């Protein structure tokens, strides 16, 4: 079983900065995002991971590389961000004009993935890391990582909505004896 699972969200993108739902659109890091990724690398420096997984989308892969783990990272398609379908690129307030009271956690997700489909991908990632002895680093996206943390704790996927997660932050999932716990959550590794 993995010792600890370290979660890192990718650095800032223009869409993340603006609050646009960025799922499958391959938006690059901003200069600030690259600076954040360097700071994340300083925080992770010297830590040996038994496995490093990254989303194949460039914002996560570039964050992984800048942080110093690109040469050992394995791209895992299950770590891609939520497919927002017709809501891709839109702001929450704009979506609510069409779907009053909408949240990503309740839907609907027209033309996109359901929460259960995202949770199934997160479960596959957790199954993969469970067989890895040692610490694992996972570099991915905000909503996917929040669902993954909820599933780690045995909570419903909607519980991911309770965990704020900024760009280029570090979180650590571990155990208190045999009980899955969150050891660190949403640690900013970059200057304000």
Return the active site residues: 10, 81
Task: Estimate the crossing angle of helix 142-152 against helix 115-130, to 10 degrees.
Answer: 60
Query: What pairing do the DSSP bridges indicate for beta strands 2-9 and 179-188?
Result: unpaired
What values do phi and psi take at 41, rounded to 5? -60, -40
Cis ω for the linkage preceding 70 (within 30 of 0): no
C-alpha distance from residue 190 to each of 37, 52, 143 (Å): 8, 21, 20
As a whole number of angstroms, the distance between CA 178 and CA 44 comes to 25
As a whole number of angstroms, the distance between CA 187 and CA 81 comes to 20
């Amino acid at each position: 079983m993995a010792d600890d699972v370290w979660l890192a969200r990718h650095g800032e993108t223009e869409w993340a900065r603006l609050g646009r739902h960025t799922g499958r659109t391959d938006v690059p890091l901003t200069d600030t995002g690259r600076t954040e990724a360097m700071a994340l690398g300083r925080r992770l420096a010297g830590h040996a991971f038994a496995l490093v997984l990254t989303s194949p989308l460039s914002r996560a892969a570039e964050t992984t590389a800048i942080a110093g783990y690109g040469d050992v990272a394995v791209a895992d398609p299950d770590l891609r961000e939520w497919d927002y379908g017709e809501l891709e690129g839109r702001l929450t307030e704009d979506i609510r004009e069409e779907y009053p009271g909408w949240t990503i956690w309740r839907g609907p997700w027209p033309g996109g993935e359901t929460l259960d489909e995202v949770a199934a991908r997160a479960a596959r990632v957790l199954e993969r890391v469970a067989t890895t002895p040692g610490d694992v680093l996972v570099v991915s996206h905000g909503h996917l990582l929040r669902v993954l943390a909820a599933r780690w704790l045995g909570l419903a996927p909607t519980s991911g909505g309770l965990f704020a997660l900024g760009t280029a932050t570090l979180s650590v999932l571990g155990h208190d004896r045999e009980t899955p716990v969150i050891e660190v959550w949403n640690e900013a590794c970059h200057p304000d």
